[in-house]
Amino acid sequence: MSRWGALLGGTLVALVLVPAAYAARAVSVGYDSAAALRGLNVLTRVAPLHVAEVATTDVAALRKRPGIRWVEPTFARHHLGGTVDVVSTGVVGAEWEFAATRSNLVPASVQQAAARITIAVIDTGADLAAPDIAAKNPITYNAVTGTNFVSDTTGHGTFVASLAAGAITLGNAMRGFGGDAKLMVVQANADANTFNDVDEAAAIVWAVNNGAQVINLSIGGSDTSQVEEDAVSYAISHGVLLVAAAGNSGLSGNVPSYPAALLGSHGLAVAATTATGTHASFSTEAPYISIAAPGVQVLGATTPAASASDFPRVAVAKAAGVYAYGTGTSYAAPQVAGAAALVWAANPSLTSDQVVALLEQTADGTGVWNDATGYGVLDVANAVARALGVPPPPLKIRKRQ
């Protein structure tokens, strides 16, 4: 029986036998040693962080238990795409975002060198039959089940993975931003869009421990937690670059989104822009914004089962698979994750913090920061040229509206 089935079964029994106030609920705990968990109903354990998710009917007693350092509720996480209605921009080019960020000007040698970099996409899994994903033969892991079986019922994870590290050798208009970078798909949702911070943390730790150099997190929530902070710190301390979607609350109060708001100068929180390079109205404006990338009607691969309202289908000439447009900061972040892999491929001696700084310094804001687009729109060709120590391709002035 799965941990969710065990929790549900235990909860139903509890509801029958005891008052609702004493029904089992899942919480996260920090512990000193494995002995502190003995006798508890442990649902998930993230051993490197000394964190676990447990089901309990008595939180007060759990807090007093020897070896338990802290107890918190679990916090929900949601994917940050496919939730915003945007009037058509009239974009007719397929992968227009590739040209908008000048990723199409990166030398083939750098795209090929990216094969030594692994990009992990922590999300709703992926459709491994999608041509852009299948061609990469991705490393897979399911942080909920603890197996290597992943799937994708929403289409979101497939879309994000295709942008970050989809194949560039299929000969069609869709290609990933990471060149030949290896793809790691880490599923962190229990069912459709059901995430929590413990599963997110388990996914981050697994990705770090299994060779990811760049981790994309197109997920978020309005509250953070100790387990999420610990997981982010774990990745940073291991030299892994975290890229996170900044959030879609621009039209609803600019509520901060986590984990993006935790990254600081050690990662990249990515806002969304339109086809003309202006801030997308739904994209969260906040002090933690690092950089921006296209996030309105972005082309990506998805699954046949994905919602047609979230992912309006697009016919891509001579391309197998299912392609669609997606809107949200979810789809801006993986472009930056792919660009980070190319920068690292161009100059392997860089640290993760140096890759962050280089991407920010070469964005089109020319070193000026604002809380809507950070240091400006991603310029992949400029960033790669800086990493190589060569002049960037000539810049065409983009007309903004």
- Could you tell me the CA-to-CA distances from 249 to 281, 329, 400 in Å, in that order? 9, 10, 23
Q: Return the structure tokens found at 144.
A: 């909920």
Length of the chain as a residue count: 401
Q: Mark whether 156 is an active-site residue.
A: yes
- Name the strands in the sheet holding 291-294, side by side, starting at the edge strand that comes first in the sequence: 139-142, 182-187, 118-123, 214-217, 241-245, 267-273, 291-294
Torsion of CA 66, 67, 71, 76, to 10 degrees: -140
Closest CA to 179 of 300, 98, 266, 275: 98
Beta pairing, strands 195-196 & 76-79: antiparallel
- Find tokens 């804001």 and name the residue: 365
Nearest to 177 by CA among 399, 316, 384: 384
Catalytic-labelled residue, pool 123, 152, 180, 199: 123
* Spatial CB neighbours of 309, under 8 Å, sequence gap ≥ 6: none
Closest CA to 187 of 148, 227, 143, 221: 143
In the residue annotation, 132 being an active-site residue is answered as: no
Give me the catalytic one of 152, 330, 352, 379.
330
H or E element: which one contains 304? none
Residue 384 corresponds to which tokens in the numbers above? 């790669």
Catalytic residue among 156, 180, 197, 279: 156
Contacts of residue 160, defined as CB under 8 A and 6 or more positions apart, other chains included, come to 81, 121, 123, 216, 218, 300, 330, 331, 333, 334
141: nearest Cα among 152, 132, 149, 151: 149
Name the amino acid, one letter, at 289: I
Q: Assess whether 330 carries a catalytic annotation.
A: yes
As annotated, the active-site residues are: 123, 156, 330
